[in-house]
Amino acid sequence: MQDVLAVLGGYVLGSLPFAYWVPRLFRGEDIREKGSGNVGASNVFRVYGRSLGIPVALLDLAKGFAAASLGLWVGGALIGVLAGAAAMLGHARPVFLRFEKGGKMAATAGGATFALAPLVAICCVGIWLLTFALTRYASVATIATAVGLVVLVVVLGYPWPIVAFGVAGAVAVIAMHRANIRRLLAGTEHRFRLRRPRRA
């Protein structure tokens, strides 16, 4: 019973739509009507810059970390993986937004990875930062990190539940970026600028 509650708790944690709540609280605006319409940290960053984008990203990381940590504490690696996966599902289809489309799970998956495989998570942060610095595409950085996650959990010999989490999580994150991949191929994907243009 505790295992089930931990997984359900992971889903509830993942459902906390910080990308929706933070702009609502500080700007009085609905992020679903801005930018790409995605309820995720990248869209918040794109629309509002670092002042809101960074806090949302950290909160999304934290909920994935909390969910997976709860699962690990209750039932070990397998329940940690299931709770982390549930948090990712909650982020994608949050109960607090009536199961409407949420975010693309990347930050929440990253938080869960920090709890399940800290060394891999640190390496993945490095992959994301390097790829983003070279390309300025958040989507490319995220996809590269998802692939790196799979390679790292296999090469470093993690237990099968964490390997399964890495593979399934990477597939889910890449699948959620299908539209980004199409825009990349078409040359229309949004590319982040080093500095936001000044308003006249």
- pLDDT above 90 for 1: no
Task: Look at residue 76 and tell me if it is in a domain.
Answer: yes
- pLDDT above 80 for 195: no
Can you give the pLDDT at residue 18?
95
Which of 73, 68, 72 is closest to 90 using CA atoms? 68
Instruction: Give tens-digit pLDDT for 154-168.
Output: 999 898 889 998 898
- pLDDT above 60 for 200: no
Of the candidate ranges 75-79, 93-97, 116-120, 175-179, the one whose mean pLDDT is the lowest: 175-179
Task: Look at residue 197 and tell me if it is in a domain.
Answer: no
Mean pLDDT in the chain? 90
Number of compact structural domains in the chain: 1
Q: How far apart are CA 40 and CA 32, in angstroms?
A: 10
Q: How far apart are CA 164 and CA 170, in angstroms?
A: 10
- pLDDT above 60 for 23: yes
Task: Look at residue 116 and tell me if it is in a domain.
Answer: yes
- Whole-model pTM: value is 0.81
**Other CB atoms closer than 10 Å to residue 7's CB: what's the count?**
23
Instruction: Give tens-digit pLDDT for 58-108.
Output: 999 999 999 999 999 998 889 999 999 999 999 999 999 989 888 888 889
- pLDDT above 70 for 199: no
| Structure tokens, 175 | 């699948």
Q: How far apart are CA 167 and CA 154, in angstroms?
A: 9
Task: Look at residue 192 and tell me if it is in a domain.
Answer: no
Task: Look at residue 176 and tell me if it is in a domain.
Answer: yes
Task: Look up the domain containing 84 and give its range.
Answer: 2-186
Q: How far apart are CA 56 and CA 118, in angstroms?
A: 21
Task: Look at residue 191 and tell me if it is in a domain.
Answer: no
Can you give the pLDDT at residue 173?
84
Per the CB < 8 A criterion, the answer to whether 57 and 40 are in contact is: no
Task: Look at residue 199 and tell me if it is in a domain.
Answer: no
Per the CB < 8 A criterion, the answer to whether 59 and 18 are in contact is: yes
Question: Average of pLDDT values for 110-123?
Answer: 93
Per the CB < 8 A criterion, the answer to whether 43 and 37 are in contact is: yes
Task: Look at residue 195 and tell me if it is in a domain.
Answer: no
The CA-based angle 148-50-120, given to 5 degrees, is 20
Q: How far apart are CA 153 and CA 119, in angstroms?
A: 10
